[in-house]
Amino acid sequence: MSRSRLASSGWWRWGPLVLWIALISAGSTGVLASDETSRFILPFLRWLLPNAESATLNLAHAAIRKLGHVTEFAILAVLWYRGLNWERQARWPSAALGAFALTLVFAGLDEVHQTFVATRTGSVTDVGWDGLGALCGVIGSGVLRARGGTVDSPNSSAPEGVPPGRRTVPFDD
């Protein structure tokens, strides 16, 4: 497939979003359950904080997990925004609100899915953390847009046919 055909196809527009949703869904299985992540996060925290009490380490582990929720759903919101505002025809508020709403819907579905996994529990609180991440992603997209370096603006140095949001990094020889 030529570069221009690939750029005009839905792969560049929706592909990253679909892959990110698949990654979040895979993480919602037992693979990233608290018992599993504690296997590598707690030893690292013990190494980092050798004099910390067990309760402190467990609190830090929980905080890292919640930060994971915020981060993964911030990225999801940015990808939703990117897809919804692909040709820069949508106004920022409508694309941002759409991205936020779709991210929250997926967060809710993700938590419902976790209720069916033996090692996981669905939590409304986690939807709140996911919503915070979505808000950060949408606000971040707005800040980038206001500064002119947006997630949806074409790169002036990119070859014709490269989709909006695709960045190239020039290297000096």
* pLDDT tens-digit readout, 4-37: 565 566 788 899 999 999 999 988 887 777 777 7
Q: Are 91 and 76 in contact (CB under 8 A)?
A: no
**Sign of the CA dihedral running 50, 55, 60, 62:** positive
* Average pLDDT, rounded, for the chain: 82
Quick check: is 114 in a domain? yes
- State if pTM tops 0.95: no
- Domain containing residue 18: 3-147
Number of domains in the chain: 1
The 3-state DSSP composition of the chain as helix, strand, coil percent (nearest 5) reads: 70, 0, 30
Quick check: is 135 in a domain? yes
Taking the C-alpha atoms of residue 113 and residue 126, their distance in angstroms, rounded to an integer, is 13
Q: What tokens does 1 get?
A: 């497939």
Q: Are 77 and 99 in contact (CB under 8 A)?
A: yes
Quick check: is 169 in a domain? no
Quick check: is 136 in a domain? yes
pLDDT of residue 9: 67
Quick check: is 115 in a domain? yes
Site of tokens 């997209």: 141
Quick check: is 22 in a domain? yes
Quick check: is 154 in a domain? no
